Amino acid sequence: MPRHMTHPNVTYSSGIVTNPAIDGDNVILAGTQISFQTGPVVLFSDGKNHVLNSIVEHGSRGSLAAGLMDIFPPLNSNVTITHGLHLSFGNLELGSANGGMWTIDCRSTITNGSTFTASGGRLEADPFILNGRMTVSHGSTADFLTAPVKGSGTIDVGAGSTVDLDRVTAGLHVDLAGGSLVIGQVFRMAFLGTIHESAAGSVDVMNAADATQEIFHRSTGMLDLVNGSGTTVAALKFSGDPRLFTTPNGSGGMDITTTHHATSLPTIVMPH
């Protein structure tokens, strides 16, 4: 039995539960949709620090398991998940009304058409701390657009899957194993993590349609997208010494891949 499943299990399939005594437990969400009307909704509003063992959703093809967990006023809490998220055919939202923080440790799996949404609260300022390894695979999505992401973790993005990120601190790594990373939909120049790009992966940089050339700094792994005025509109750090090409995607952004196209931007490679 996996380590995270040796702890007690508690299952919610409907309704709203406020401040349940579930510290140390595996929380299993088994609803049919994310809804405050039908649930399941688990709210933390007591201002305490809570530690859960894991959050689990196991649905089936055509019938996703779903649920919402939220840090809610009047007293904002911090919630740590020590053994990660485990979604298979699942739809999970973790949120914060304004002032809380989620920490996800150890290994997480988002797979089989699952969707994970991280909400950063009304002001989109409440952080998610990712210290473990999160694998997003088999047509799944992890959406962190409205939440800043911190920590020293790694997100693996498999073929056919997508991760949306905007504000990321320097400690985070994204490993594109054939999947897509979408950044910059709201904030420019806010992704400070490190990207490892495989032959089949892509980085979609939104709000960078004015870029006219790319400059790759070989010694640092930094790739700058520069507009016609010489202004840097995106700066991303890649691991290793990849051969990258930036191509307009027709949707107001740029796709960075390892494949050259006729419309790819001119490239300047700098030794430093």
Question: What pLDDT shows up at residue 200?
Answer: 85
Instruction: List pLDDT tens digits, range 51-83.
Output: 999 999 999 999 999 999 999 888 888 999 999
Q: What's the mean pLDDT in 146-155?
A: 96
- Which residues, at least 6 apart from 1, have a Cβ–Cβ distance to it below 8 Å? none
Distance CA 44, CA 64 (A): 24
Instruction: List pLDDT tens digits, range 206-241.
Output: 989 999 999 999 989 999 999 999 999 999 999 977
Instruction: List pLDDT tens digits, range 151-203.
Output: 999 999 999 999 999 999 999 999 999 999 999 888 878 999 999 988 789 99
Instruction: List pLDDT tens digits, range 82-136.
Output: 999 999 999 999 999 778 999 999 999 999 999 999 999 877 889 999 999 999 9
Indicate whether 4 pLDDT > 70: no
Place of tokens 């998940």: 81
Distance CA 73, CA 80 (A): 18
First-to-last C-alpha distance (Å) of the chain: 49
Question: What pLDDT shows up at residue 61?
Answer: 93
Tokens (6 digits) for 203: 């980085």
Distance CA 219, CA 255 (A): 23
Question: What pLDDT shows up at residue 5?
Answer: 56
Of 117, 105, 21, nearest to 69 by C-alpha is 117
Taking the whole predicted model, whether its pTM rises above 0.85 is answered as yes
Q: What's the mean pLDDT in 11-36?
A: 95
Distance CA 259, CA 252 (A): 20
